[in-house]
Structure 1
Amino acid sequence: MMKKIVSFMSILLLVGGVFAFTQVATWKLGKDYAIEFSAKGVDGIFKTFSATINFDETKLAASKFSMSLDVNSINTGNGLQNKHAIGDEWFDAEKFPKIKFTSSSFEKTSAGYSVKGKLQVKDVTKDVTIPFTFAKKGNKGTFVASFSIDRSVYGVGKSGGDVSNNIKITATLPVSK
């Protein structure tokens, strides 16, 4: 009986030690972040964004991103265009108030890093890979991602027309520990 208890305790300590070594830094999002988008026919920003960022460049397998954009915070610089963007033909913010991304894996690349995960826009969720860089200086850092998505895949607006389907997104996220 004593051997079983000692064996069980040893396993618990071993498992606990593994988890202790796989923990990664939690980064807090700074207030001066920028989520910008641009395409033929429209450009602008999302003003309200939240994120849980657990990232360590030496422990990519244990790193996680969870991010959410408030669709109602879109700002194209044109009030009428903003109203159309949150309307049911485009983002339908009343039914789908958030755009969400949840990571599944990270990889080191020649240009920095990439994160794979699920991007949910409206009621459509797709696997995406987002390239990004991370510049760290002490207890502060900056993540910068630049990528494109096809809005028609997510049912945002009608394909074609004045706004191109290919939307470029640039996210600049200052963080601190």
Structure 2
Amino acid sequence: MKKFKTLIPAGLILVLSAYTTIESTNWVIADGHAINFSGTDAEGVFASMSGDVQWDEADLTASTCALKIDVNSINTGNGMKNKHAKSDKWFDAETYPYIEFISDTFTKTASGYEATGTLKMRGIEKEVTIPFTFEDDTFKAMFSVNRLDYEIGSMKGMMKKVSNEIKLDVSIPVTKN
């Protein structure tokens, strides 16, 4: 899915912007959020993110979402893989310390919502559409991104063992501000 890039960040951003209330409400990201990613020879979590979310179910045009995921918070469960993931061959965390998502539009669907916006990784911006739901003050999204769309890794050497399509499973609990 070329629309969806490498990590879970986009999912988090979109998921956060999905809750429904009668009036536009500012939401704060609570502890316990999870941005999990998985694919062949690649799985882990991003532990740190921040963002601003405004949501108005009655007027989706008044809703906005801006999320930042700290690339340096990646945890694959393997110190060497963490180091490689942050290197200039993968995320290049020194040059591009954040994965960012900024919403443009929200759409109601039969199963929840979709957030369309700009996902930025490694300085590359792509328009993405992320399906999400909101239940029990938690935004949830499951989708895939193609890491090569953002020049994350390559198809050379050991890097070709890693799936191009990375599955993202995002859970973001929020509280009203």
TM-score interval for Structure 1 and Structure 2 normalised by the shorter chain:
0.7 to 0.9
Q: Distance in 1 between matches of 2:174 and 2:58?
A: 18
Instruction: State the structure with bigger RCO (CA 8 A, min sep 6), 1 or 2.
Output: 2
In structure 1, the partner of 2:48 is 48
Identity over the aligned pairs, expressed in percent? 45
Q: Residues 83-94 of structure 1: matches in 2 within 5 Å?
A: 83-94=83-94
Match of 1:157 among 153, 160, 165: 153
Report the TM-score, using the length of structure 1 for normalisation: 0.83
Partner Cα distance (2:36, 2:125) in 1: 21
* Paired residues, number: 152
Could you give the per-residue CA deviations for residues 138-165 of structure 1, whole angstroms, max 9, x where no partner exists? xxx1100111100001000013611000
1:81-114 deviation per Cα after TM superposition (whole angstroms, max 9, x unaligned): 0000000000000000000000000000011000
Conservation of the 8 A alpha-carbon contact between 2:139 and 2:171 = yes
Give the structure with higher Rg (CA): 1
How far has the Cα of 1:127 moved from its partner?
0.2
- Match of 1:8? none
Residues 1:148 and 2:144 are matched in the alignment? yes
- CA separation of 1:56/1:23 partners in 2, compared to 1, >3 Å: closer, same or farther? closer
Q: Distance in 2 between matches of 1:96 and 1:46?
A: 15
Task: Compute the displacement of 1:23 (Å).
Answer: 6.3
RMSD: 1.3
Gaps in structure 1 of 5+ consecutive residues: 1-21
Q: State the one-letter code of the partner of 1:112.
A: G
Displacement after TM superposition at 1:58 (Å): 1.9
Q: What one-letter code is carried by the residue in structure 1 that aligns with 2:154?
A: K
Aligned AA for 2:98?
A: K
Q: Give, as a single letter, the amino acid of the residue that structure 2 aligns with 1:148.
A: S
| 1:51, distance to aligned residue in structure 2 (A) | 1.3
Alpha-carbon separation, structure 2, partners of 1:34 and 1:62: 26
Q: Distance in 2 between matches of 1:148 and 1:51?
A: 21
Superposed displacement of residue 26, structure 1: 0.4
**SS class of match (1:161):** helix
Distance 1:58 1:27 in 2: 16
Provide the secondary structure at the position in 2 that maps to 1:77: coil
TM-score, structure 2 as length reference = 0.83
Q: Which one has the bigger helix percentage?
A: 1
Superposed counterparts of 1:16-95, under 5 Å: 24-95=24-95
Could you list the structure 1 runs, at least 4 aligned residues long, displaced by more than 6 angstroms after superposition.
none
